[in-house]
Structure 1
Amino acid sequence: MEINQYLEVFIEESKEHLQACNMNLLELEKNPSDLLIVNEIFRSAHTLKGMSATMGYEDLASLTHQMENVLDEIRNGNLIVTPEILDIVFLAVDHLEEMVESIASGGDGKLDVTATVEKLHRIETGNQDDGSFEETAAAVAEAPPFAKDGCPSYEFDEFERTVIRQSKEQGFEAYNVQVSLRQDCLLKAARVYMVFEVFEQSGEVIKSLPSVDKLEEEQFDSDFTVILLSTENKEEIKRKLLNVAEVENVEINSILLLEDFPEKTETSDEEKKASELSDSSGSADKSEDKKGMKPLNSNKTIRVNIERLDILMNLFEELVIDRGRLEQISRDLSNSELNETVEHMSRISGDLQNIILNMRMVPVETVFNRFPRMIRQLARDLNKKIKLEITGADTELDRTVIDEIGDPLVHLLRNSVDHGIETPEIRAANGKEEEGTVVLRAYHSGNHVFIEIEDDGAGINRDRVLKKAVSKGILSEEAGEALTDKQVYELLFSSGFSTAEQISDISGRGVGLDVVKNTIESLGGEISIESTEHKGTIFSVQLPLTLSIISVMLIETGKEKFAIPLSSIIETAIIKKAEILNAHDQKVIDFRGKVVPLLFMKEIFQVPGKEDENKNVCSVLIVRKGEKMAGLVVDSFIGQQEVVLKPLGNYLTNVFAISGATILGDGQVALIVDCNALIK
């Protein structure tokens, strides 16, 4: 098998499983007794181990296997979850992420993780020499043994008891199955595999002794036991098992839970989940190994390289330009059959356009998911109490923007945690809750996506920022006094600027916010700061959707045609010139009870052509940016159209209020107006 052809799938799926591990470990930290979460983590680790071994990344597989052993001990009730154990497991996940990133970068995925493996092994065996895991002895919930037909005593945890009880209510029988292999059996793991094949055909395995992993590694003599849920009778199951080569003996006994088992009149949500038997089953784990590394076929999805989508988008852009040209020709010729065909093609291409654009859109959740784990670690490093709240994670952005926005957001979050949130002692002294809050939110507004990072920390100290700026020679003391608060905050984006008193690994090295601004602006976005001292700070990042095909209103001003994105337009209006008022040397109109300033397109873009002095009315587009509005005065409206957004190129990057250009159906070029820049 040519392994390299599966490398991309391996990397993508590995990242997904590691992200799932991180998220579930954070949940487990909040609910350490929830075995459903433990099973989710175990499933991700088990799948990752199988994939890594299949691909030949032994270091990665070895570390994952050791982590899996610890999780297995927890879910079998031999360990309880403690902060110390979670710290080691988190560290193991960090190492795994580092190894996967190495593979993604063309490396071999090798990393010296001997110390971490040893820590995990000590946890698994209960041999914690440093005395930091006193509570990791077998802390199994008090569970009565089962007994029937001479079956040996065996303890279940709460999850397993729930599974058995619910299964019995649904007509399943619970069996204790003891399988003995011949003493001279050479390939015990292979025979175990075949036995589990029979179990899968007969029902569901919810527990095994030894564990599935130890059976795989032949860490048993010749006997092993499983707890099987099945609708088949004992004789039929025994007959199938004895047909497996080198199986010498099979003993099957029914399991009877004692009468002091708690009875419940209602089925809880947790029990409903448990009854699905999806993640606790050893046979499911074996199934994962059998399948090895699999693309997500169950969801009928495929992975497509982003470069192919770029090619598809470029081809479709050419189609849209030709479509516009055909529509223009159709209108000029007034041929009914041609009109009908062009209209049908326009509808079909419109549907195709929506599909292609949606294929490129990705929820910002793919970026946001890594931050809870990061905030947890930062809070521990800084001895702070911090709660991260995430809203709007389903907001979608173009894949190219998603790939670039991660690092800037990391810088901003680190800044909020380090500079913004105070220590618990300082917060308590100032009458605040000891636990600080950082809010990460995303939402659509017009043709843009806004990502905001808000903290309830100390806010920005204006005098401190100015003092640092003056000391670095960024501006003079006199010039600083004349700046508004907003202008002072903008100084934080100056190259090499930092107000940190001490250099640390978190921040304070004089880099970060200037890099953030440069990256965001390179994506066609903007960043702004709002802050109130002692109350908190908001960093607001505005990003374009970067859709290559947009709906616009075509307008004419003088001898030029412009395109205004429909997403920025509230309303079009024809107003009388007599209704135009003056306020603070600014021409304004009363728009539905609000004073809206007017911007004259001819003046802004210096378009040649005289204004018709006989006209008593003006054509106005009411546009907005967030809560701010403006009226764009134009000569005439042409109509709505879908156009291809083309960049102006490196030589025209600083053209004011123009975001790009498009080719119209008649071959003319129309500039696309950036309404956000105009309003700002």
Structure 2
Amino acid sequence: MDTTEYLDVFIDESTEHLESLYKHLLELEKNPTDKTIIDEIFRAAHTLKGMSATMGYSDLANLTHKLENVFDGIRYDKIKVQTEMMDVLFDAVDHLNAMVEDIANEGDGSRNVREVVDQLERIENGEETGQAKSEQPQQQLDTAASLEKVATLNEFELSILNESADRGFSNYEITVELREDCLLKGARVFMVFEVLEKLGEVIKSEPTVNDLEEENFENSFTVLLVSNFEQTEIEERIWKVSEINQVTVNHFSISAYNQEQEEQKEQKKQQAEVEQEANTPDDQNSDKQVKQKTKGSTSKTIRVNIDRLDVLMNLFEELVIDRGRLEQISTELNHNDLQETVERMTRVSGDLQSIILTMRMVPIDQVFNRFPRMIRQLARDLQKNVEVEIIGAETELDRTVIDEIGDPLVHLIRNAMDHGIETPDVRKQKGKPEQGTIQLEAYHSGNHVFIEISDDGAGINRDKVLEKAIANEVVSQSQANSLTDNQVYELIMASGFSTAEKISDISGRGVGLDVVKNTIESLGGNISIDAKMDKGSTFSIQLPLTLSIISVLLIELQQEKYAVPLSSIIETAIIHKDKIMHAHNKKVIDFRGNVIPLVFLKDIFAVPAEDAQENDYESIVIVRKGDKLAGLVVDSFIGQQEIVLKSLGNYLTNVFAISGATILGDGQVALIIDCNALIK
């Protein structure tokens, strides 16, 4: 069977099962006697084994089978969960994950897992397992083998096997292998069947009886037999037939068969859905699901290629530009019918925009679910006791943001593990619980998503940070005296800044945080830090819901138009020039009790000066970056508008204070101001 068309579905579903294994293994470590968790792990491993075998990835299937055997023993109290065992189980899942990643990268999924297999076998055959456990894997293997060799049973055959089991008869699966030099295979088969019919009743054979009579088989065949004879007696009788190379007789488990049949039906159902989706070749690379409600409050899922959603988004962006043009024309013409039509089109396109953006949304759980496993491993490496709490994992973010935010979060968590959380003995001396806590929280607020990484560790030493900052000439002594606590903490995100006593291979508080900051700001977000000595630290990240269509305030400088993102704006103001003051050779204003520096955009962007009438008032846009404020001085405000963010291209990648451009309704290009670059 050609399985290439199902490869992407296999990778997606395998990744989901591996994530489930990681998640439930972490829960099992905390609750080793919880049968529900063990059943979930067994189910995920069992499904992954079946999928791998179907796709032909034998190494993946064999390792998963060993893992499944261990959990089968745990499930029936033949194996006791221990800490050392958990390390082996996590290691096994790591190998499985590496195999799936290799397959995703067009590999064959092969991997040397002899060591971890030996460890799993030792767990499986440990003293706690007993003889019954050692026989269990063979029985499972035999049942699995039988299901591969024996065709699906019909209702009549199944009823006979069930009835015979109820009456005390035994159901056997018998595999007979003839010698390679056997000349009359059909005659030998007839002699074997003659023996079997004296022992009981043959229910089914594979290949069929006709194929066996016509010798349309290799050297082996399998039959299901109902008999009240012992297994050894049946083997001895069959061995009396000449030219037989091997005989295998095993009990056939009806309950196991029924379970496998149900799973096969479910797999066939899923496969049928996949085949239907695979009719469109582009859907093979699909990695995005769109859900729609149908009658009876059931939901159906289709997989949509993310590239198609990107094309759809690009087309809608062009529609937004044309919508702006129509709005401008209707305003200029002042035609009632045209204005009503444009208003209706604006409402409809707004709804369409919401749907498209929703389709691109992905739960942040896809990023968060990798961290518990990472934290557990780091805790063992650092000999610390750490618990992770995840809140708001269902919070959704644009796919583009999700792809970029993972690495910064990993760095912040590694910092918290290495320099935030103390060792158990230090925590005990401070009167804290020996187990530290790292909390990951995500939530929506307006058009933004906030992600907070908190720990209850040592916090940040304010004096130490200031001392290092002055030594590195990041700030002067006079500036240091006027900094607030939060401003001091943000100094650790300066390039190359670190307060660590020694450099470790895990992290260094501050080493690389400038990269984290730059990555977040490149996504249109910002990061702030709050900490208390010996109480802990909180890194708060603010991100936009989407990066393509944003709301802005259009402003004017002479004849040039610029856009300021609304997410950065506090408010707008018009002040008299007499209100402008000077401090530290800079022009500032008093805004609600705060001294705010003014930024004259004409000077920043070198706008050509034109003769204009002197005005006693200045138009100012108050913008924010974290706790810092600034006033952007402009000529006039045009108004609020939704615009499409366009890149400036590869030739204009480092333009100061400009994050992109947009096309306005009248065809003019307006540059989008990066407020973060203007606030020092």
What is the Cα deviation at residue 667 of structure 1? 1.1
2: distance between equivalents of 1:552 and 1:568? 9
Give me the whole-angstrom Cα distance separating, in 1, the residues matched to 2:98 and 2:147: 35
Q: Give the Cα–Cα distance (whole angstroms) in 2 for the partners of residues 651 and 374 of structure 1.
A: 39
Q: Is the 8 A contact 1:587 1:597 kept in 2?
A: yes
Counterpart Cα distance in 1 of 2:225 and 2:595: 87
With over 3 angstroms needed to count, the CA separation of the structure-2 counterparts of 1:188 and 1:15, relative to structure 1, is closer
- Contact 1:191 1:244 survives alignment (8 Å): no
Could you tell me the TM-score, scaled by structure 1's length?
0.69
Q: CA deviation at 1:40?
A: 1.6
Paired position in structure 2 for 1:120: 120
1:194 aligns with 2:193: no
Matched, 1:501 2:502: yes
Shift of 1:616: 6.6
Instruction: Name the CA shift for 1:431/1:625 in 2 (closer, same or farther; >3 Å).
Output: same
Instruction: Give, as a single letter, the amino acid of the residue that structure 2 aligns with 1:499.
Output: A
Partner in structure 1 of residue 295 of structure 2: none
Shift in Å, 1:118: 2.3
Query: Deviation at 1:372?
Result: 0.9
The 1:651–1:526 alpha-carbon spacing in structure 2 relative to 1, beyond 3 Å, is farther
1:31 paired with 2:31, answer yes
- Would you say the 8 A contact 1:50–1:288 is kept in 2? no
Distance 1:522 1:347, change over 3 A: closer
Displacement, 1:606? 5.1
Show the 5 A alignment for 1:576-595.
577=576, 580=579, 587-588=588-589
Could you give the per-residue CA deviations for residues 290-345 of structure 1, whole angstroms, max 9, x where no partner exists?
55767599952222232222222222222222222233233333444444443343
Distance 1:347 1:524, change over 3 A: closer
Q: Any stretches of 5+ residues in structure 1 without a counterpart? A: 129-133, 141-185, 209-214, 222-241, 251-279
- Identify which range, 63-72 or 601-610, moves more after superposition: 601-610
1:56 matches 2:15: no
- Whether contact under 8 Å (2:464, 2:499) holds in the other structure is no
1:537 maps onto 2:537 in alignment: yes
Residues 490, 528 of structure 1: 8 Å contact kept: no
Work out whether residues 365 and 393 of structure 1, in 8 Å CA contact, stay in contact via their aligned partners in 2: yes
- Cα distance in 2, alignment partners of residues 508 and 630 from structure 1: 32
User: Residue 561 of structure 2 aligns with which residue?
Assistant: 561
Any residues of structure 2 matched to 1:105-504 within 5 Å, and which? 105-125=105-125, 127=126, 194=153, 245=204, 248=226, 284-288=262-266, 290-291=268-269, 299-444=299-444, 448-460=448-460, 475=472, 490=491, 494=495, 499=500, 501=502, 503-504=504-505
Give the C-alpha shift of residue 428 in structure 1. Answer: 1.4
Decide which moves more: 95-104 or 493-502.
Answer: 493-502
Which deviates more, 594-603 or 535-544?
A: 594-603
Alignment partner of 2:302: what SS?
coil
CA contact (8 A) 1:579 1:589 kept: no
1:29 Cα shift?
2.0
After TM superposition, give the deviation of residue 665 of structure 1 in Å. Answer: 0.8
Counterpart Cα distance in 2 of 1:197 and 1:40 = 33
Distance 2:509 2:622 in 1: 45
Match for residue 65 of structure 2? 65
Say whether the 8 Å CA contact 1:648–1:661 is kept in structure 2.
yes
Shift of 1:58: 1.0
Following superposition, the deviation at residue 220 of structure 1 comes to 12
1:27 maps to amino acid: E
Write the distance in 1 (CA, Å) between the matches of 2:676 and 2:665.
27
Shift of 1:429: 1.7
Kept in 2: contact 1:50–1:292 (CA 8 A): no
Question: Are residue 669 (structure 1) and residue 669 (structure 2) matched?
Answer: yes
Task: Give the C-alpha shift of residue 553 in structure 1.
Answer: 2.7
Tell me the residue number matched to 1:639. 639
Q: Percent identity among equivalent residues? A: 59
Specify the alignment match of 1:158 in structure 2.
none
Q: Structure 2: give runs of 5+ residues left out of the alignment.
A: 134-144, 177-200, 205-223, 229-257, 275-288, 292-297
CA distance in 2 between counterparts of 1:579 and 1:468 reads 41
Q: Distance in 2 between matches of 1:459 and 1:290?
A: 54
After superposition, the Cα gap between the structure-2 partners of 1:455 and 1:647, relative to the gap in structure 1 and judged at 3 Å, is same
Q: Is the 8 A contact 2:462 2:488 kept in 1?
A: no
How far apart in 2 are the matches of 1:494 and 1:365? Answer: 30
* Deviation at residue 369 of structure 1 after TM alignment: 0.8
Is the Cα–Cα contact under 8 Å of residues 418 and 508 in structure 2 kept in the other structure? no
Counterpart Cα distance in 2 of 1:395 and 1:299 = 20
Q: Distance in 2 between matches of 1:629 and 1:475?
A: 25
SS of equivalent residue, structure 2 residue 153: helix
- Do the aligned partners of 2:469 and 2:491 also contact (CA within 8 Å) in 1? no
Q: Specify whether residues 218 and 12 from structure 1 end up closer, same or farther in structure 2 by C-alpha distance, changes over 3 A only.
A: farther
* Cα distance between partner residues in 2 of 1:400 and 1:561: 28
Measured on the aligned residues, the alpha-carbon RMSD in Å equals 4.5
Distance 1:507 1:65, change over 3 A: same
Return the offset for 1:424: 0.7
For the Cα contact (< 8 Å) 2:527–2:626, is it kept in 1?
Answer: no
Report Cα offsets for 1:217-256 as digits up to 9, x if no partner.
Answer: 97999xxxxxxxxxxxxxxxxxxxx997557489xxxxxx
Three-state SS of the structure 2 residue aligned to 1:397 is strand
**Amino acid of the residue matched to residue 435 of structure 2?**
E
- Quote the residue 1:152 is aligned against: none
CA separation in 1, counterparts of 2:526 and 2:173? 59
Distance 1:13 1:123, change over 3 A: same
Q: CA deviation at 1:595?
A: 7.5
Indicate the residue corresponding to 1:547 in structure 2.
547
Deviation at 1:664, TM superposition (A): 0.5
Mapped partners of 1:628, 1:499: distance in 2: 27
Q: 1 CA distance for matches of 2:73 and 2:608?
A: 79
Q: CA deviation at 1:666?
A: 0.7
Post-superposition offset of 1:370: 0.9
More displaced 10-residue stretch of structure 1: 435-444 or 356-365: 435-444
Deviations 1:129-158 (A, max 9, x none): xxxxx5x56999xxxxxxxxxxxxxxxxxx
Is the Cα–Cα contact under 8 Å of residues 529 and 538 in structure 1 kept in the other structure? yes
Structure 2 residue identity aligned to 1:403: D
Q: Separation in 1 of the partners of 2:465 and 2:625?
A: 29
- Cα gap change, 1:288/1:659 in structure 2, threshold over 3 Å: closer, same or farther? same
Task: For 1:597 and 1:411, locate their aligned partners in 2 and report how far apart those are by CA, in whole Å.
Answer: 33
Which residue of 2 is the match for residue 8 of structure 1?
A: 8
8 Å CA contact 1:18–1:97 kept in 2: the answer is yes
With the length of structure 2 as denominator, give the TM-score of the two structures. 0.69
What's the counterpart of residue 45 of structure 2? Answer: 45
* Pair 1:512–1:640, CA change in 2 (3 A): closer
Is contact 1:557-1:602 (8 Å) kept? yes
> C-alpha deviations, 1:652-671, integer Å up to 9, x for none?
44444432211101111112
Aligned partner letter, 2:106: G
Give the conservation status (yes or no) of the 8 Å contact 1:644–1:663.
Answer: yes
What SS class does the counterpart of residue 303 from structure 2 fall into? coil
Whole-angstrom distance in 2 between the partners of 1:324 and 1:528: 36
1:238-277 CA-partner distances (Å, limit 9, x unpaired): xxxx997557489xxxxxxxxxxxxxxxxxxxxxxxxxxx
TM-superposition CA deviations, 1:471-503 (whole Å, max 9, x none): xxx947997997678578646654597836365
Distance across 2 between alignment mates of 1:677 and 1:542:
16
How far residue 385 of structure 1 moved from its aligned partner, in angstroms, is 1.0
Bigger-Rg structure (1/2): 2
Q: 1:551 to 1:462 in 2, by over 3 A?
A: closer
CA shift in 2, pair 1:617/1:510, >3 Å: closer
Q: Which moved more, 1:659-668 or 1:640-649?
A: 640-649
Contact 2:42-2:68 at 8 Å conserved across structures: yes
Q: In structure 2, what is the equivalent of residue 177 of structure 1?
A: none
SS at match of 1:499: coil
Corresponding residue for residue 239 of structure 2? none
